[in-house]
Amino acid sequence: MRTQRGILRPAIVASLVATLSLGLAAAPAEADSRLHVRPHSGPPGTLVHVRGEGFPPPPIVVGCTREYILEFVDASLAGERIGGVVPDHDGNFRLRFTIPQWAAAGIGFFEIYYLRYSNGRCHRGGPITIRAFTVTHPLATVTVAGLGSGQAEAASPAVANVRVNPIQGPGGTSVHVKGCCWRAGESVTVTFRDAGGTRYGWGSAKVGTGCHLSCRYLDIGIPAHAAVGAGFVKMYSFTKAGKTTFTVTAA
């Protein structure tokens, strides 16, 4: 469905919205496969029960684990891979997932896709089915002098300002990453998702405690076998997230 995470053509967007609204399978060949989520909406931190029905056994792909991959994608098209899924003999599966604190408010979705193998590695294959989930802002109690208190929509997690240098290069390129502004002592995680949907991580590091707000500087190496095309570098913490594009020009 997406060859470049975060970049969608208008026609694809329209098709995606229609599919999400109706809860239909994204691939006609898997029309009997159904994905259910409960609840359908909630703020970051919501525990979601995910249930699949009618899934055939995962295809046998030489060089890849025999499983489907389940992923959550928020309204900003930032995604998190939940993990591999192997249906039981009746084609069913169940699992739970907590909506990340950095998830952007709006209509996101859960999707399940199969794997394919090419150029010596496993890649993201086509989606089988998707199901919408709306991330809402939590309600907070607000007190106004002389007017009492009431419920108001709390601010969504702040967006971090993320920059990379250079902005493109072949696999193996060393990239300088800068993310601002984090609270002192926050633990910041850096990831890269290539054009094929594969996610790479470099762990977490804490921001220094010498100031109230601070930038975090890291040097990462784009994997040598990353898929060619536009991917994105993401930095996130418990309170905020940000991302920017890095284009892999050659493997």
How far is it, in rounded angstroms, from Cα 134 to Cα 132? 7
- Please, are residues 135 and 189 in contact by the beta-carbon 8 Å criterion? no
Report the chain's terminal Cα–Cα distance, integer Å: 22
Give which of 73, 62, 69 is closest to 20, Cα–Cα.
73
Rounded percentage of the chain residues whose pLDDT exceeds 90: 16
Locate 181 and state its tokens.
Answer: 């502004």
Rounded mean pLDDT, 58-82: 82
Q: How far is CA 165 from CA 46, 84, 235, in A?
A: 36, 33, 15
Domains 10-135 and 158-248 share a fold: yes
Q: What is the mean pLDDT of residues 77-83?
A: 80
Q: Assess whether pLDDT exceeds 90 at residue 197.
A: no
More confident residue, 19 or 209: 209
Which of 54-58, 73-77, 118-122, 136-140 holds the top average pLDDT?
A: 54-58
- Token match 């859960």: residue? 110
- 244 falls in which pLDDT band (50, 70, 90)? confident
Dist CA 42 CA 46 (whole Å): 6
Q: Cα dist. 215→127, 203, 235, 241, 244 in Å?
A: 37, 17, 11, 13, 15
Options 3.40.50.2300, 2.60.40.1930, 2.30.300.10, 1.10.8.60; CATH for 10-135 is 2.60.40.1930
* pLDDT given for residue 21 in this prediction: 40
The pLDDT of 68-92, averaged and rounded, is 85
Residue 116 has pLDDT above 90, yes or no: no
Distance (Å, whole) CA 7 – CA 231? 9
Gyration radius (Cα) of the chain, Å: 20
Residue 95 reports pLDDT greater than 60: yes
**What is the pLDDT of the chain when averaged over all its residues?**
75
Identify which of 13-27, 110-124, 140-154 has the greatest average pLDDT: 110-124
Sign of CA pseudo-dihedral 91, 96, 102, 105:
positive
pLDDT at 3: 32
For residue 190, the model assigns a pLDDT of 85
Select the CATH number that applies to the domain covering 158-248 from these four: 3.30.360.10, 2.40.10.10, 2.40.50.140, 2.60.40.1930: 2.60.40.1930
Angle at 118 between CA 115 and CA 122, to 5 degrees: 40
Residue with tokens 């394919």: 116
Q: What are the pLDDT digits (tens) for 5-14? A: 444 433 444 4
Mind listing the pLDDT tens digit for each residue in 27-63?
Answer: 333 457 889 999 999 988 899 999 999 988 888 887 7
**Within its chain, how far is the Cα of 209 from the centroid?**
29
**Domain boundary assignment for the chain:** 10-135, 158-248
